[in-house]
């Protein structure tokens, strides 16, 4: 099973969403899990993971990790060419390096060129920025390319985004 995560923040809480799926080319999730998370950390520039990581692990801890083959996060595994850990890298550390993590971001960081692939899907002229740990970056890029959908965002990640933003 593969998991994809996104989090929406409100004034006093956050909404953590997980889309579960089995195959990279699935067009529908096998399950969608939504959790409200209280007592979220304040946003601190450069330390976003401290806010988002607890929201993701609230859901991850409900799974038997042996059954998870990969996790996708909305963001980066590495933030720069020196492998400064982003959200995905910190999640990989949190899970004791047991589950490959793929970061998919919609915008680039100027100091992040060595450990990121630009992925162009469909007819889009705007790339997705893919980073990875625990899995070869080229393989991660190919997984994101193979995901269902004709547009920049794969169908399952679009479902994730829409569910996360719903009130």
pLDDT score of 46 more than 80: no
Q: Is the pLDDT of residue 93 over 90?
A: yes
Neighbours of 48 (CB within 10 A): 17
Percent of the chain with pLDDT over 90: 90
- The beta-strand segments (E) located in the chain are 2-9, 13-21, 31-38, 70-74, 101-105, 117-119, 128-133
Residue 47 in this model has a pLDDT that exceeds 90: no
Q: What is the pTM of this model?
A: 0.96
pLDDT band, very low/low/confident/very high, at 167 (cuts 50, 70, 90): confident
Burial zone of 159 (CB within 10 Å; 0-12 exposed, 13-18 middle, 19+ buried): buried
- Domains for the chain: give ranges and CATH numbers: 2-165 (3.30.2170.10)
């Amino acid at each position: 099973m593969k998991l994809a995560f996104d989090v929406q923040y409100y004034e006093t809480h956050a909404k953590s969403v997980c889309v579960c799926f089995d195959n990279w080319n699935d067009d529908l999730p096998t399950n969608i899990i939504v959790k409200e998370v209280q007592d979220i950390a304040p946003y601190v520039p450069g330390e976003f993971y401290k806010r988002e990581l607890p929201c993701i692990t609230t859901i991850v801890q409900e799974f038997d990790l042996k059954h998870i083959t990969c996790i996708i996060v909305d963001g980066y595994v590495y933030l720069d060419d020196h492998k400064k850990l982003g959200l995905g890298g910190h999640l990989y550390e949190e899970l004791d390096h047991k589950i490959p993590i793929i970061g998919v971001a919609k915008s680039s960081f100027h100091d992040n060129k060595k450990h990121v692939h630009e992925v162009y899907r469909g007819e889009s002229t705007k790339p997705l920025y893919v980073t990875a740990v625990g899995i070869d970056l080229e393989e991660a890029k190919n997984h994101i390319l193979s995901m269902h959908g004709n547009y920049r965002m794969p169908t399952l990640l679009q479902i994730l985004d829409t569910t996360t933003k719903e009130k």
